[in-house]
A and B are shown apart, each in its own frame.
Chain A
Amino acid sequence: MREISFAQAVNEAIAEEMRRDPNVFLMGEDVAEAGTPFKVLSGLVEEFGSKRVLDTPISEPGFVGIAVGAALTGTRPIVDLMFGDFLFLVMDQIANQAAKQHYMSGGKLSVPMVLRTNLGATRRSAAQHSQSLQALVAHIPGLKVAMPSSPYEAKGLMKTAIRDNNPVVIFEDKLMYQAKGEVPEEEYLIPFGQANILRAGTDISLIATSSMVQVAEEAAQTLAAEGIAAEVIDVRTLNPLDEETLLNSVKKTSRVIILDEGHQSYGVTAEIAGRISEKAFYYLDAPVSRMGAMDVPIPFSPALEDLTVPNPQGVVAKAHELMQGAQAYGT
C-alpha cells in the first residue's frame, strides 16, 4: 500500500470533502498561500480558491465565532487553530456557544463545524505552544473530540468529522506531521466511538490516545520480547468514548495502563481510569495505572522537557511493576 505523511493525509481528507460538498470551507490564520506553519494545507487554496480557503486576521475568538454562526446557517466550516494552546482564547465560542446551541434550542439549531488543532510537547516550544488540552474540550457536553494516531487515522477521522452535524475538535500531534504511514488510495471513513485494538494481548492493556499510541506500541514490542503480551488500544475518540472495547480488554487482561499526553491530573487518563474502576473493578489484578504529562508547565530546556512526557521505557517499567504485583499474588 502507498505511504503518505500525516500532513498529506489531513490535506487529502479536507480536499476530498471540499470536492464532495461545496458548503465545506476552510478558515484560519495563514491557511491559504502559507498552507499553515506546518504546511498541512498546502495546495488547497490553489484548487479551491480564496473564497473557500480563507486567511483570517490573528483573531482566534473572532474567526471561531464566525465559524459557529456560519455553521448555524447552512455552511460547514473547518477552522484551523494554529496551536492547541490557543483553545484558551476561544473557549467561550467553543464551550458556551458551539457546544450548547443544539441543546439550548431544543434541537432546532446545529453547528456542523470542525476545529482542527494540535497537541504535543518535545518540540522545544515551551509552555504556551506545547500543551495537550483535549481534556478541556472533552469535558464539555456537546463537543466531539477526535485524536488521530497515524496518517491512516488522521484521514479517516477527519472525513468523519467534516460530515458530522456537531462541533468536532480534532487534535493532531505536531510531531507526527511528517511521519509516514499506509493510507489506501480508495476512500474510507473511520466512524467515531470505535476504539481500535492495534495489538491483541492477554497480560496487560495499554490504552492510549494520539501521540501516546506509538509510545504504547513501542513499549508493547519490548514487553513482547520479554514474553509479556500487551494489548494496545487506540481510543480514537474521547467523545464518543468506546467504553465497551476498553472494558472488555481490561476484563481480559486484568491490568491496565492508560496513556494520554495531557496533564495527568483531572484529565483523560483519570476519566478512563474512573470508568474502569467503576465497571471492571472485580476483574482487576493490579491497581489501575495511568501516565500523562507531568503537572508542570512544559519547560523549554530539552533536559527538562523530555522528563515531562511519558516514554516507552517508563511504560515498560510501569508494566513490570504491575506484573510483579501479579507474581507476588501467585496469579
Chain B
Amino acid sequence: MSSQDELSRDDFLRMYSQMVRIRTFEDNANKLYLSAKMPGLTHMYSGQEAVAVGICETLTSEDSITSTHRGHGHCVAKGANFKEMFCELLGKEEGYCRGKGGSMHIADQANGNLGANAIVGGSAGIATGAAFSAKYQERDDVTVCFFGDGALGQGLLYEVMNMASLWSLPVIYACENNLYGEYTPVEEMAAGSLIARAEAFGIEAFEVDGQDVRAVYDLAQTLVSRARQGEGPFFVLLNTYRYHGHHVGDINREYYRSKEEEKYWKDERDPITLMGDWLIAEGMADDEELTAVRDKIRAEAKEAVDYALDAAYPPESEVDQHVFAATPASSPSQGEHHA
C-alpha cells in the first residue's frame, strides 16, 4: 500500500501550495536582487520544490533538517513564515536571525530547521550530530540532511556517513542532484555511481524523481518512519533541476548548459505544473482553485516583502551581541542532578 493512500485532498493541496510558496518566495527574492534592494546575493531553489516539500511534509516540527546555501526552499517547506524570511534576506532586525545570518544562514529552530550552511557539505556533521543526540537521549525524532551533488566532493560527508552507519543513527542524507555544482556539470566532477558511495558504508540508498512530489513523499514517508524505528541511516538521490543560475547573478549560462535544456525542464518537468495537472486529472481541484491558491500566495508574499522593505535594521548596539551564549554562573555541585 502506498503511504499516499492515507492522504486526503487537503494533504495533496498543501503540497501543491507549499511548492507554490517556495516558487513565489524565490521569484520575489530574485526581484529584490535585480532591483538592488537586497544586500549581497542569493541562490534560487526554483525547480527543486518537490524535493523539499515531498520530504518536509513527512516530518514534524520535532524533526530536524540541515539546509544549504540554496536553502529557502527547505526553510519554507519546514514551516517558516515569509515575513521573517524576507526580513532576514534584507538584513532586518525582525528576520529569523535578527539579520545576522542572511540568505545563506537562515535558521528556524522552532520548526526544526538547524540552519542553512554556506560551506558546501558543511552541515553533514551537524545533521549527523543531531541524529546522534536523538539516539543518545532516546528521542524518536529524525534528521534530514539536505545537500547538493556538489557536496559529494566533500570528505566530511563520507566520514559522517560511516559513523552514522556504524551507530545506526536516525538520519537521512538527501542528495539533490540538480545536475550542476556551481557552473560545472556533475558528471565532470563525480566519478562512478553516486548512490554506491552510500551503499559502500552499508547504508540503504534510493533514487527518486525529484520533480514528482508524490514520489518523493512516498519514499520519504517510508524512510522517515523506518528511521524512527531505529532502522536508519538512509541515503536518497533526488534527481532534479535548478532553473536559475548558481546564484541570482549567474545570468549568462550558455557556456555550461543550453537554453533548450532549461526549457525542457521548465516546460516538461516542472514540479508544480506536474502536481497541478495531477490534482485536476484526479478531480481534486480545478484550474480556478489552483489559480486562487497561487494568487493568494502571491499577495501574501507581496505583503511580506513590503513589510520587510519598511522594517528596521538592527540597532548598531546589536553588532557585538550573540558572539557568546550566556552561561549561568556556576558553582560547585551540591549533589544536584541536572537532567
Using a CB–CB cutoff of 8 Å, the interface residues on chain A facing chain B are 16, 20-23, 25, 51, 56-57, 59, 61-75, 77, 92-93, 96-97, 101-112, 141-142, 144, 159-160, 163-166, 186-189, 191
**Given A68-B126, A160-B330, A75-B162 contact (CB < 8 Å):** no
Q: Select A141's contact among B66, B124, B323, beta carbons within 8 Å.
A: B323
Structural contact, B338 and A72, CB atoms closer than 8 A? no
20 contacts between A and B (CB under 8 A): A16-B333, A22-B339, A23-B339, A57-B159, A62-B156, A65-B156, A68-B126, A69-B130, A69-B131, A75-B133, A92-B122, A93-B125, A93-B156, A105-B96, A107-B322, A107-B325, A108-B97, A111-B325, A142-B323, A144-B324
Residues of B87-122 at the interface with A, using a CB-CB cut-off of 8 Å, are: 95-101, 105, 107, 109, 114-115, 117, 119, 122
B283 at the interface (CB under 8 A from A): no
Residues in chain B near residue A23, CB distance under 8 A? 136-137, 339
Q: Range of interface residues on chain B?
A: 35 or more
B155 at the interface (CB under 8 A from A): yes
Q: Select A104's contact among B105, B159, B324, B336, beta carbons within 8 Å.
A: B105
Closest to B131 in A: A69
Residues in chain A near residue B327, CB distance under 8 A? 163-166
Structural contact, B159 and A142, CB atoms closer than 8 A? no
**Given A56-B163, A166-B325, A72-B137 contact (CB < 8 Å):** no
Residues in chain B near residue A57, CB distance under 8 A? 159, 162-163, 166
Structural contact, B322 and A106, CB atoms closer than 8 A? yes
Residues in chain A near residue B100, CB distance under 8 A? 103-106
Residues in chain A near residue B339, CB distance under 8 A? 21-23
Instruction: Report the minimum CB–CB distance from B126 to chain A (whole Å).
Output: 4
Instruction: Report the minimum CB–CB distance from A63 to chain B (whole Å).
Output: 7
Interface of B is mostly: loop
B326 at the interface (CB under 8 A from A): yes
Structural contact, A106 and B101, CB atoms closer than 8 A? yes
Q: Select A105's contact among B101, B133, B143, B166, beta carbons within 8 Å.
A: B101
Instruction: Report the minimum CB–CB distance from B106 to chain A (whole Å).
Output: 9
Closest to A96 in B: B119
Instruction: Report the minimum CB–CB distance from B104 to chain A (whole Å).
Output: 9
B317 at the interface (CB under 8 A from A): no
Residues of B117-175 at the interface with A, using a CB-CB cut-off of 8 Å, are: 117, 119, 122-134, 136-137, 143, 155-156, 159-160, 162-163, 166
Instruction: Report the minimum CB–CB distance from B146 to chain A (whole Å).
Output: 14
Structural contact, A189 and B137, CB atoms closer than 8 A? no
B35 at the interface (CB under 8 A from A): no
Q: How far is the CA of A106 from the CA of B84 in the complex (A)?
A: 12
Structural contact, B163 and A66, CB atoms closer than 8 A? yes
Structural contact, B330 and A102, CB atoms closer than 8 A? no
Known interface pairs A92-B119, A109-B114, A159-B330; 8 further A-B residue pairs with C-beta atoms within 8 A, sorted by A's residue number: A62-B125, A65-B129, A70-B130, A72-B114, A73-B134, A96-B122, A105-B97, A189-B330
Instruction: Report the minimum CB–CB distance from B17 to chain A (whole Å).
Output: 27
Structural contact, B107 and A108, CB atoms closer than 8 A? yes
Structural contact, B133 and A70, CB atoms closer than 8 A? yes
Q: How far is the CA of A66 from the CA of B131 in the complex (A)?
A: 9
Structural contact, B137 and A74, CB atoms closer than 8 A? yes
Residues in chain B near residue A71, CB distance under 8 A? 129
- Nearest 5 Cβ contacts at the A-B interface: A65-B125, A69-B129, A62-B159, A106-B98, A69-B126
**Given A22-B339, A59-B162, A165-B122 contact (CB < 8 Å):** no
Structural contact, A61 and B333, CB atoms closer than 8 A? no
Structural contact, B132 and A105, CB atoms closer than 8 A? no
Closest to A16 in B: B333
Residues in chain B near residue A93, CB distance under 8 A? 125, 156
B331 at the interface (CB under 8 A from A): yes
Q: How far is the CA of A92 from the CA of B109 in the complex (A)?
A: 22
Residues in chain B near residue A51, CB distance under 8 A? 136
Q: How far is the CA of A107 from the CA of B93 in the complex (A)?
A: 12
**Given A59-B163, A65-B124, A69-B130, A105-B107 contact (CB < 8 Å):** yes
Residues in chain B near residue A22, CB distance under 8 A? 339
Residues in chain A near residue B259, CB distance under 8 A? none
Q: How far is the CA of A141 from the CA of B107 in the complex (A)?
A: 20
Q: Select A103's contact among B125, B136, B323, B336, beta carbons within 8 Å.
A: B323
Q: How far is the CA of A290 from the CA of B64 in the complex (A)?
A: 49
Instruction: Report the minimum CB–CB distance from A99 to chain B (whole Å).
Output: 9
Structural contact, B129 and A73, CB atoms closer than 8 A? yes
Structural contact, B330 and A70, CB atoms closer than 8 A? no
Closest to A106 in B: B98
Structural contact, B129 and A72, CB atoms closer than 8 A? yes
Instruction: Report the minimum CB–CB distance from B116 to chain A (whole Å).
Output: 9
